């Protein structure tokens, strides 16, 4: 959908049909596709990185990264490949997903979720993963493993979610993300970095005031930061991954 830049609560256009569908039975994305990052190549050409969900027998599921392209400004997308562009590897066995991709000086830079473990959470299996970093010259071919960037505190956390990464005015990096807590649903996190690889977690500095709509009482996840005319907005999902709709917050000085 498109929303007004001057009033993000005003919806200008909503697609009547899916822009991207699940894969054929047996493929890595046959049980769900979730968009995670868009790279604009030109006015009409876009790359869409997405999570592909595959149900498994020995473990609940795997999540790997797929790639699609649009040449009509984002109204429709075609998959680059029926297989993942970031497939499972020996060091990142079950999860290589949740990418946020920036292109700088001709290099595709990706911050993504990677993991090879599960834990027991109140009698239910839960994924364990950290934040990794990787680079690519074409946005399609990636190394089999990335560089660890953020590591969970296993006493309190079991994972992160897809980050939103951007440059600051001083040239450093900042990252908004969400944390999978052992005691409750997702909560927002915040980190900064000089080089985009080594990050300083500053979660306590992010002050988030919930709305009175009760859509985000237990969970705040998948933050996406958009800057328009000097004002920053955060699009995000609330309880049960956004079951009752997309939410938006405005940054205050």
Rounded CA separation 211/246 (Å): 13
Query: What share of the chain in percent tops pLDDT 90?
Result: 79
Judge whether 34 and 22 are in contact, CB under 8 Å: no
Q: Which domain holds residue 140?
A: 2-250
Rounded CA separation 199/27 (Å): 35
Rounded CA separation 203/191 (Å): 7
Beta strands across the sheet bearing 221-228: 221-228, 231-237, 246-250
Quick one: average pLDDT of 210-223?
Answer: 76
Rounded CA separation 253/37 (Å): 27
Say whether pLDDT at 216 is over 70.
no
Judge whether 47 and 139 are in contact, CB under 8 Å: yes
Say whether pLDDT at 51 is over 70.
yes
Q: How many domains does the chain have?
A: 1
Judge whether 208 and 228 are in contact, CB under 8 Å: no
- Structure token digits, residue 122: 């109140």
Rounded CA separation 80/241 (Å): 27
Q: Could you report the per-residue pLDDT of 139-184, keeping only the tens digit for each?
A: 999 999 999 999 999 999 999 999 999 999 899 999 999 999 998 7
Q: Label residues 11-21 b or e (16+ Cβ within 10 Å = b).
A: eeeeeeeeebe
Rounded CA separation 146/114 (Å): 8
According to the model, what pLDDT value does residue 112 have? 98
**pLDDT bucket at 215, cuts 50 / 70 / 90:** low
| Cα distances (Å, whole numbers) of residue 75 to 8, 46, 79, 143 | 19, 10, 14, 30
Which H or E element spans position 125?
strand 124-136
The CATH number covering residue 221 comes to 2.115.10.20
Q: Could you report the per-residue pLDDT of 95-143, keeping only the tens digit for each?
A: 999 999 999 999 999 999 999 999 999 889 999 999 999 999 999 999 9
DSSP3 helix / strand / coil % (the chain, rounded to 5) = 5, 50, 45
Residue 147, beta-bridge partner list: 133
């Amino acid at each position: 959908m498109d929303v007004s830049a001057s009033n993000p609560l005003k919806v200008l256009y909503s697609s009547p049909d899916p822009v991207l569908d699940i894969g054929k039975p047996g493929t890595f994305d046959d049980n769900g596709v979730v968009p995670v990052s868009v790279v604009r190549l030109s006015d009409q050409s876009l790359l869409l990185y997405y999570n592909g969900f595959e149900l498994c027998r020995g473990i609940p599921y795997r999540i790997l990264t797929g790639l699609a392209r649009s040449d009509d400004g984002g109204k429709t997308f075609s998959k680059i490949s029926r297989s993942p562009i970031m497939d499972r590897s020996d060091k990142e066995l079950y999860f290589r997903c949740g990418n946020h991709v920036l292109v700088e000086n001709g290099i595709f830079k990706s911050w993504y979720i990677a993991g090879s473990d599960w834990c027991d959470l109140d009698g239910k299996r839960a994924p364990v993963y950290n934040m990794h970093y990787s680079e690519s010259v074409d946005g399609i071919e990636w190394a089999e493993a990335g560089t660890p960037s953020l590591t969970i505190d296993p006493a309190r956390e079991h994972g992160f979610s897809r980050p939103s990464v951007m440059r600051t005015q001083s040239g450093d990096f900042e990252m908004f993300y969400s944390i999978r807590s052992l005691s409750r649903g997702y909560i927002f996190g915040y980190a900064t970095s000089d080089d985009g690889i080594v990050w300083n977690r500053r979660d306590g500095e992010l002050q988030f005031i919930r709305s009175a709509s009760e859509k985000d009482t237990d969970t705040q996840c998948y933050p996406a930061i958009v800057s328009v005319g000097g004002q920053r907005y955060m699009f995000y999902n609330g309880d049960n991954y956004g079951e009752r709709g997309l939410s938006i917050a405005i940054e205050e000085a």
